[in-house]
Amino acid sequence: MTTETAIDRRLPLTGLLVVITIWFTGMGMAALEVRPEAVVAFGIPDKMISAVISSEGYPLGAGKFYVAARTGPTTVRSLYDAGAWFVWPVIGKGCGRL
């Protein structure tokens, strides 16, 4: 007598969404609580560049939907106030350091 066991190989989407949500929430909170030396902000660059300059930071680079910047005392909050969708802190040193 042979018993076959079916293995469920579906991707656990609910679990992945929970993990991604926790990760992005944690990184967003890290940008607010721990003042990083540099950040990458996603949103409309025209508004965000003005926010970086007015908060005593300075832009390092910009693209169609992002701005990389050295931070001043209130840069992260200013970026969120200017309409940034997400502000990602640049943590650690190594290749590609801003």
Which tens digits make up the pLDDT trace of 81-97? 999 999 888 876 654 54
Q: Which residue ranges form the domains of the chain, and what is each CATH number?
A: 36-92 (3.30.70.250)
SS3 21: helix
| Residue-wise pLDDT tens digits, 50-68 | 999 999 888 888 889 999 9
Is the pTM higher than 0.85? no
Long-range residue pairs from 55-62, CB within 8 A, at least 24 positions apart, any chain: 55/79, 60/98, 61/98
Residue with more model confidence, 9 or 20:
20
Question: What CA–CA distance (Å, rounded) separates 4 from 90?
Answer: 50
Question: Backbone phi, then psi, for 11, in 5-degree steps?
Answer: -75, 130
* Residue corresponding to tokens 């409309």: 44
